[in-house]
Structure 1
Amino acid sequence: MFGSSGAPRGDLADVDPGTGQHTANDAGRKNAASAKKGRRERARGPVRPGPRGWMGWGKGRASHIEAPAEWRGTTVQVCGLWPFGAGSGTPVVGVPVGRSMTTGASLCCDPVSWFQRANLILNPSEFVLGKPGLGKSTIVRRQALGLAGYGVNPLVFGDLKPDYVDLVRALDGQVITLGRGRGYLNVLDPGEATEAAQRLTGDARRALIADAHGRRINAVGSLLTIVRGSPITDREETVLNIALKVLDERHAGVPVMADLLQVIRDAPEAVRAAVLDRGNIDKYRDGVEALEASLVGLLGEGRLGDMFSRPTSEPMHRDRPVCFDVSNIDDSEMQLQAAALLACWSYGFGAVSVAQALADAGLEPQRHYFVILDELWRVLRAGRGLVDRVDALTRLNRQRGVGLAMITHTMSDLMALAHEEDRMKAKGFVERAGMVICGGLPSAEMPELTQVVGMTDAEQRMITEWSTPPAWDTGIGRKAPPPGLGKFMVKVGGRPGIPVHVELTRAELHINDTNRRWAR
């Protein structure tokens, strides 16, 4: 097709009216040359090397690239390294317990800091599970040591091995020794509650007195449950309640178990009314005979000896770390161990209640505590009904400003209870915990554990691999350390778990040596 001048239409479009030079054909030639160059480059390969170098034979592609070195610093320090700084993938609020096994970043973890400062958990408590010898006490000791630096006093209510005595002594704390012929703990002793109540007025005073009274009933009922192997009846608990009130009216000082027994034998009118004897003293004697016989068993004639029938040998301090050392009780005396643990828990929580009541009234500074309940399974198996006693002692830790660590070996320890209702309540200890820390566990534990704590298949495999027994090291001629030593999975609700390896510093070695007697 031609235009009016007789020249092809394409030629007219290719001429610039201002210069008279061709333009469109030049651009076409350049595009064609660029396309040809691109085809040649694609045939030769990529123009830039990949992350591992040039691909192809003999071009030096790296098969392995080492991860760059990482350093941890504050925001003020790291800002000068922009853009090479990156946020940590693990929480950095709380006590440093070790390094993440996936990223190598430091993990800071403790129930008090994660509840109070980081707002990561809704309850300042943790439940620690793991096979013996893998470091359950070690990670709790690390948390207790770090929290002591933050001003939170560790309280160990019953150390059976002992695992925490050296730590508390290193912190200039108080170690209270209990055992046959070594120390006594009077469960009827209200501690400093009576003295503190005199400093309070109104509702605060009445609440503290009522709390101390309830703890004494709970402590006596727990000891009687262990002696019998079954819970006391409702009528017997009512008799104990009224008898303690009568005892407080009659006795000016601190009563002991023999004084409580004497009140029941004296048959005051208030106690007889609780038995419903209808004025028949013989009916009263029959109604309290079983209770009287059980109380006699706590006076030194029974299996528990006289450890709970004499005045308290050493009162507990509220302003220092405290450890109740019950390691002198032999492992064969499981009932005495369980009774000692329960008595220590009751006495210790009573002291915490006194401290918080005085702090609320502005008479003492506010103190926070990290309470450690080790070997939980020993108490739960000592008799039916003790799950309720433990539950009553531990349920109000958040309201009382107390962080709590409950330690046992496996979920089977909780599921081995004889009665279904006790098993469900014991499982509730794990469900209510703010965080669950799992060491090495056998694969048989996973079905029960995953009902309470959601875990992926990879997390379950990691935990079961940590339970592998140690191998024989021919180089040193003895067993190598267990593969799961110091390795734990920190779980909070349904969040992904954080695998961490606890590494002890040189300063901590002497308070974590549980084989010191073998060294000597």
Structure 2
Amino acid sequence: MSGKKEKKPRVESRAEKAKSREVKPQRPPMRGWLGRGRGTSTYVQQADEWRGTTVQVCGMWPFAIGTGTPMVGVPLGRHIHTGATLCCDPISWFQRAKLISNPSAFILGKPGLGKSTLVRRMATGLAGYGVMPLVLGDLKPDYVDLIEAMGGQIITLGRGRGYLNVLDPGEATQAAERLRAAGHEKEASQVIADAHGRRHTMVSALLTILRSAPPTDREETIIDRALKWLDEHHEGIPVLGDLLRVIQLGPAEVRAVALDRGDDTRYKAITEGLEASLIGLVGGGRLGETFSRQTTNPMRRDAPVVYDVSAIDDSEMDLQAAALLACWSAGFGTVNVANALADAGLEPRRHYFVILDELWRALRAGRGMVDRVDALTRLNRQRGVGMAMISHTMSDLQALASEEDRMKARGFVERSGMVICGGLPSAEMPLLTAAVPFSQAEQSLLIGWQDPPAWDPSTGREAEPPGRGQFLVKVGGRPGIPVKVELTTVEASINDTNKLWHDQSRVGRRARRLIEEAEL
């Protein structure tokens, strides 16, 4: 035996023994404890997402990523894939973000998927930025409740409901007087010349719709000279009946451009067709008397405005197209007056958001109508207005008589700063991609959104269409931004386009309740 002392075994204390008997907790695996009833998950739960500025989250890399969607403009909704907020409207993207070179948007999509709701969201947000919404022709109506809620002006047109005098210069005469008083003679002359051209164009447009063909060059010149004669000799605001009487009387200035060679019989033969068409406009023909009487509700330039033409039946296609063109003419005339006064420093600068809904109706009204609309779409940037043009499909623009008109109509889409598409059928893709490049994945997305709604057996009703409120925002060749537009409770109350059906349902429920009470 060695001299070393043997170590005595260490005796554990009571506390250490109790601690050793405790079961050490184990961390569950990534998908939870395996086994029935133990909380397993077959999918990895999505992590919570938070948004912050680069100053706030700069130290959290690599767990912070950019949203990838612009945040300048009206909040439209959330990105379908990332959930990021998308802010988008043609005026903000042109004026502030510099993302587009033209403050206009073309909206395409099948009926019932929310095109008008999308534009109403833009109009509501832009009104908050100080931009005046101008709805120049509401056929359903989709915008009357919105403009009324904003405290704007509602102008009703239709047979026996309201009139719009196409020869009314509007506020141009008073604006010219203010400009002359302030020493702006040149600007005053430009305002008067613009009003004259607008009235001339509108008379020619009405004749085009009535005849389904534009007036001849000689007739255009006769109308121009007759309008100038009215401005010089007529007291007050003339109407179409006054224009007809001038052409029938044949003043020397009008006879000179008609080239009657001093022969009264020749003059009557030259102006017979024009006289007959004007009688049709004045006497309540296919277009009624809507444009031949004094304007019942002049348009304001300092408030949101909607022209309510929903009283015109869909079967009266010509009257609808004429009403839309008259509203567009009056609206852009008011914008020109506002710009002239602002340029002279007599009024504050105002910007407008012009909404041209159901564009296809005006384009199909007759030959020459595409040229009228084409002139409007080319000058919106110079006039200081943003524009939203709404149609259903590219086929609407292609269903025109001549190839020349079809090419011009396709140019509306090509020149737009942004193109926003809802659900579209697959047959539309070749026409759409010819104007704006879309990838195959983007095309598949649009085709999927146009599928019909599924039947819900639990409620006995159709579910919401898969593409309702979903849109793809395209700017040139950039990848599209898919967005889901969701309404707030306030917006939902003024975005209901099925009020008549709800009223019918309430009447039906009340009738059933009365029947049940009678049986008891």
Provide TM-score, normalisation by structure 2.
0.87
Choose which of 404, 415, 422 in structure 2 pairs with 1:432. Answer: 415
- Counterpart secondary structure, 1:427: helix
1:139 equivalent in structure 2:
118
1:95 equivalent in structure 2:
74
Letter in 2 for 1:506: T
Report the Cα distance in structure 2 between the residues aligned to 1:406 and 1:448, rounded to whole angstroms.
18
Check conservation: 1:300, 1:307, Cα contact below 8 A. no
- Could you tell me how far 1:98 is from its partner in structure 2? 0.7
1:323 equivalent in structure 2:
306
- Counterpart secondary structure, 1:294: helix
CA-to-aligned-CA distance 1:94-126 (integer Å, 9 cap, x gap): 000011112110100100000000000000000
Letter in 1 for 2:44: I
Choose which of 205, 208, 219 in structure 2 pairs with 1:222. Answer: 205
2:97 equivalent in structure 1:
118
1:242 equivalent in structure 2:
225
- Counterpart secondary structure, 1:99: strand
- Could you tell me how far 1:300 is from its partner in structure 2? 3.3
Give the 5 Å matches for 1:267-416. 267-416=250-399
Letter in 1 for 2:321: A
Decide whether aligned partners of structure 1 residues 199 and 292 sit closer, same or farther in structure 2, where only a CA change above 3 A counts.
same
Letter in 1 for 2:437: G
- Could you tell me how far 1:52 is from its partner in structure 2? 9.5
Give the 5 Å matches for 1:144-159. 144-159=123-138
Report the Cα distance in structure 1 between the residues aligned to 2:288 and 2:310, rounded to whole angstroms.
16
Decide whether aligned partners of structure 1 residues 398 and 51 sit closer, same or farther in structure 2, where only a CA change above 3 A counts.
farther
Give the 5 Å matches for 1:63-74. 64-73=43-52
CA-to-aligned-CA distance 1:145-197 (integer Å, 9 cap, x gap): 00000000100000000000000001111111111000000010010000001
Whether 1:458 and 2:454 are equivalent positions in the alignment is no
2:36 equivalent in structure 1:
none
- Could you tell me how far 1:82 is from its partner in structure 2? 6.8
- Counterpart secondary structure, 2:283: helix
Check conservation: 1:91, 1:107, Cα contact below 8 A. yes
- Could you tell me how far 1:393 is from its partner in structure 2? 2.5
Check conservation: 1:111, 1:125, Cα contact below 8 A. yes
Letter in 1 for 2:346: L
1:472 equivalent in structure 2:
455
- Counterpart secondary structure, 2:202: helix
- Counterpart secondary structure, 1:260: helix
Decide whether aligned partners of structure 1 residues 74 and 64 sit closer, same or farther in structure 2, where only a CA change above 3 A counts.
same
Check conservation: 1:346, 1:393, Cα contact below 8 A. no
- Could you tell me how far 1:475 is from its partner in structure 2? 1.5
Report the Cα distance in structure 2 between the residues aligned to 1:447 and 1:356, rounded to whole angstroms.
40
Larger Cα Rg: Structure 1 or Structure 2? Answer: 1
Report the Cα distance in structure 2 between the residues aligned to 1:293 and 1:105, rounded to whole angstroms.
61
- Could you tell me how far 1:502 is from its partner in structure 2? 0.5
2:88 equivalent in structure 1:
109
Choose which of 141, 147, 150 in structure 2 pairs with 1:171. Answer: 150
Identity of aligned residues (%): 70
2:18 equivalent in structure 1:
none
Check conservation: 1:257, 1:309, Cα contact below 8 A. yes
- Could you tell me how far 1:235 is from its partner in structure 2? 1.1
Check conservation: 1:98, 1:106, Cα contact below 8 A. yes
CA-to-aligned-CA distance 1:333-367 (integer Å, 9 cap, x gap): 11111110000000110001000110000000000
Decide whether aligned partners of structure 1 residues 51 and 359 sit closer, same or farther in structure 2, where only a CA change above 3 A counts.
farther
Give the 5 Å matches for 1:57-68. 64-68=43-47
Check conservation: 1:440, 1:465, Cα contact below 8 A. yes
1:181 equivalent in structure 2:
160
- Could you tell me how far 1:71 is from its partner in structure 2? 2.9
- Could you tell me how far 1:87 is from its partner in structure 2? 2.6
Report the Cα distance in structure 2 between the residues aligned to 1:406 and 1:470, rounded to whole angstroms.
27
1:204 equivalent in structure 2:
187
Decide whether aligned partners of structure 1 residues 479 and 51 sit closer, same or farther in structure 2, where only a CA change above 3 A counts.
closer
1:29 equivalent in structure 2:
none
Decide whether aligned partners of structure 1 residues 184 and 77 sit closer, same or farther in structure 2, where only a CA change above 3 A counts.
farther
Choose which of 470, 495, 512 in structure 1 pairs with 2:478. Answer: 495
- Could you tell me how far 1:202 is from its partner in structure 2? 2.3
Report the Cα distance in structure 1 between the residues aligned to 2:176 and 2:60, rounded to whole angstroms.
58
- Could you tell me how far 1:70 is from its partner in structure 2? 1.6
Report the Cα distance in structure 2 between the residues aligned to 1:238 and 1:52, rounded to whole angstroms.
82
Decide whether aligned partners of structure 1 residues 76 and 196 sit closer, same or farther in structure 2, where only a CA change above 3 A counts.
farther
Q: Provide structure 2 residue ranges, at least 5 long, that are not aligned to the other structure.
A: 1-28, 33-39, 504-520
- Counterpart secondary structure, 1:254: coil
Q: How many residues align?
A: 465
1:420 equivalent in structure 2:
403
1:128 equivalent in structure 2:
107
Question: Root-mean-square deviation (CA), in Å?
Answer: 1.9
Report the Cα distance in structure 2 between the residues aligned to 1:288 and 1:350, rounded to whole angstroms.
29
